[in-house]
Amino acid sequence: MEKQNYSKAIEELEQIVAEIENQDISVDELSAKVKRAAKLIRICQTVLYKTEEEVNAVLKDMQEEQLPEK
């Protein structure tokens, strides 16, 4: 999977959606745009999943630090 950050992926995805909604692309381009959109969605999902894992790990660490010692 190519290295791309979330913001750039979302920006490109929004551009593709706008082109499709405005019918600014030909039928010939449509298949390529849909495939690219699917790839961008996978990139975003991966980034979000990793971020969720990192946040959950930090929250877990914070909870463990707050537990009183026995």
pLDDT at site 1: 42
How far is the C-alpha of 17 from the C-alpha of 4, rounded, in Å? 18
pLDDT at site 69: 66
- Write out residues in the chain with pLDDT < 50, as ranges: 1
pLDDT at site 27: 87
Instruction: Give how far the C-alpha of residue 42 lies from the chain's centroid of Cα atoms, to the nearest Å.
Output: 6
